[in-house]
Amino acid sequence: MEGVTPQQLLETPDLIAVGVAGDDVRRRMRGTKTTFLRVFEVHVDAPLSALPPRVSAGEFRIVGRPTTLEATVAAVQATVPLAAGVPVTLSSVSDLQSIPGGLTEACEALRAAGLTGVAQLPIDLLPNAEGAIRAIRDAGLTLLTMVVETLEDAERMAICERARALQETVGGFKAFAPLPRRISLAQPTTGYDDIKQVALARVMVSNVPSIQVDWALYGPKLAQVALTVGADDVDNVAAVDPGILGTRRSPLEEIRGNIRAAFLEPVERDAMFEEL
């Protein structure tokens, strides 16, 4: 669909042509390289004193809604030694903003405790995203991925325009995850909708290097198809191998196998988008 407009991408019933348009842009920008990130999650209210067996992660991500700055700092301080040099992040900017007190104070205290960055910026939830981004980065924390919390049909183009505009104004983002993290029970998206959204994001948000899909949230099958229509980065692959299905069925081999089956090149990365 050479010369196709974003509106045409949304309106055409030809899903194959939509996928080709997204894949063309992806291959011009990234070739066949497909990065993935193994994430070990730690709940902010239940920090660990030791890791379970067979953990291998590129990011230790503190999840859950913090109630106090002191508790969040304590969770970071408990996690940093366990991470042993692997980046430790807080899950979302919206979680960070829920901490009582000022954003700048929270960022500085968490950075001093050893936090590396914030994993995700939900661009549909923050009325002053630019200000939050600058406060986070001024404190020395990284912020590299834009995500979408909820998405209505009428907002599909607008959310991509928002991501592109944020990259133009503040820059520094490595990835945009265009599929919603929360699905409406009344009007859930279909696989058809999701594939179109990934392709649309790749075509419209060409100033962001990677289009991302969440492995745990959307599952291996949709994630694999998304990689053929414009996505080139997979977030939230399990970091713990249960050790019950054998090496070939480990989370690492599963993600590698799915990427290779799409005739793409799997490359593991860490939270800073550094290849491992």
Q: Which has more confidence, 158 or 10?
A: 158
Residue-wise pLDDT tens digits, 165-199: 999 999 999 999 999 998 777 677 788 889 999 99
Alpha-carbon distances, residue 23 vs 85, 116, 227 (angstroms)? 35, 32, 8
Give the pLDDT of residue 246: 58
Q: How far apart are CA 217 and CA 215, in angstroms?
A: 6
* Residue closest to 141 by CA, chosen among 128, 149, 150, 132: 132
For residue 169, what are its two tokens?
């104004």
Give the pLDDT of residue 244: 64
Mean pLDDT of 65-91: 96
Residue-wise pLDDT tens digits, 3-42: 677 888 888 888 888 899 999 999 999 999 999 999 999 9
C-beta of residue 137 within 8 angstroms of C-beta of residue 107: no
Long-range interactions of 161-164: CB distance < 8 A, separation 24+: 161/204, 162/123, 162/124, 163/123, 163/201, 163/205, 163/208, 164/204, 164/205, 164/206, 164/207, 164/208
Q: Average pLDDT, whole number, for the chain?
A: 92
Q: Which CATH class is domain 6-269?
A: alpha beta
Q: How confident is the model at residue 257 (pLDDT cuts 50, 70, 90)?
A: very high
* Residue closest to 94 by CA, chosen among 115, 70, 116, 63: 63
Give the pLDDT of residue 182: 86
Residue type at position 88: V
Give the pLDDT of residue 188: 73
Q: Which residues contact 249 (CB under 8 A, 6 or more apart)?
A: none
Give the pLDDT of residue 110: 97
Instruction: Determine how many CB atoms are found less than 10 A away from the CB of residue 178.
Output: 28
Q: Which has more confidence, 16 or 229?
A: 229
Mean pLDDT of 159-166: 96
Residue-wise pLDDT tens digits, 45-71: 999 999 999 899 999 999 999 999 999
